[in-house]
Amino acid sequence: MTFSHQMITQAAIDSFAGTDNPRLKLLMQSLVKHLHAFAEETQLTEAEWMAGIQFLTATGHTCDDVRQEFILLSDTLGLSMLLVAMHDGAKQGATEATVLGPFHTHDAPPMENGADITNGAPGQPLLVTGRVLSADGVPLAHAMVDVWQADAEGLYDVQRGELQSERRARGLITTDAQGHFSFWTVLPEAYPVPTDGPVGQMLLNTGRHPWRPAHIHFFVTADGYQPLITHIFREGDRYLNSDVVFGVRPSLVGDFQSHAQGKAPDGRDMQQPYWSLEYEFSLQKK
């Protein structure tokens, strides 16, 4: 870096010297410092930066009420997962967290423990059972288990235009007095993140695949405990080692078991083969 370059960078950093909020000041000064270092290191051209501005503009224009292309950008650059991991490190004995992703909604329908949340989503039946515990092993009654997932076609309900307001393979279940929860849903399949926008174009231009290994999302909350945002992944999925958003942790790979038709563990008479998954979630005290 030449002396005059250093003066430009320092002047831009110093321009935030009067910021009242010390955290905002730190964030802005560090952002400028690293952006300038990026430009110097890569010898960024003006044409390349204009292409970058056009990319960011297109990313913003692709966002709407149910599509968040900037979250997808953050996810595919690994930034979302880095932040999760940075703030998940101090837990002891609690289930590991992973990315929220862009498909969580705040209107998952409340369901009875043991209910079927499928509501017409295509896929093989799957019985999910488990418990919510404190990190030191005490069962947590009345914990809320918010669940959402893609179906056999790799789609979330909110991605189906005709179903904008309908909720499928999504539900809110409350644990019983012993911390148990269970529900019927469909077996999740691997799916590509949306590739019809600028982030998909970035993946294509850089030779990256857009796939996420099959998973079910969980957002588990209980009074007095830190909320847990995580997924359970399907063991054996071909994309477990190359998740496009870097969300896989070995402790979050679940043992999905296949069964022939017959009586399921919850007594339901299954006329077709089905799957089961059992998993215990542990929450860290606040």
Shortest reach from residue 263's CB to Fe ion, in Å: 31
Q: Which is nearer to Fe ion, 36 or 231 (CB)?
A: 231
Tokens of residue 124, six digits: 């093989």
Amino acid at 116: D
Nearest-10 Cα torsion for 179, 266, 213, 100:
-30
Q: Using the 8-state DSSP alphabet, how is residue 96 labeled?
A: P
Shortest reach from residue 156's CB to Fe ion, in Å: 7
Count of other CB atoms within 10 angstroms of residue 142 = 12
Shortest reach from residue 200's CB to Fe ion, in Å: 16
Whether the CA torsion 215, 217, 222, 226 is positive or negative: it is positive
Residue nearest to Fe ion (CB): 101
Q: Which is nearer to Fe ion, 101 or 179 (CB)?
A: 101
Shortest reach from residue 205's CB to Fe ion, in Å: 24
Q: Which is nearer to Fe ion, 190 or 222 (CB)?
A: 190
For 7-46, b/e burial (b = at least 16 CB within 10 A) is eebeebbeebeeeeeeeeeeebbeebeeebeeeeeeeeee
Shortest reach from residue 278's CB to Fe ion, in Å: 20
- The site for Fe ion, by CB under 5 A, has a size of 1
Contacts (CB under 5 A) with Fe ion, residues 81-140: 101
**CA–CA separation, 124 and 276 (whole Å):** 11
Q: Which is nearer to Fe ion, 111 or 147 (CB)?
A: 147
Shortest reach from residue 66's CB to Fe ion, in Å: 14
Shortest reach from residue 147's CB to Fe ion, in Å: 11
**CA–CA separation, 178 and 34 (whole Å):** 50
Amino acid at 218: F
End-to-end alpha-carbon separation of the chain, Å? 47
Which residues on adjacent β-strands are paired with residue 172? Answer: 110, 146
CA 57 to chain centre: 24
Q: Which is nearer to Fe ion, 88 or 189 (CB)?
A: 189
Q: Which is nearer to Fe ion, 183 or 191 (CB)?
A: 191
Tokens of residue 197, six digits: 């926008």
Q: Which is nearer to Fe ion, 101 or 171 (CB)?
A: 101
The residues of the shown chain that bind Fe ion, judged by CB under 5 A, are 101
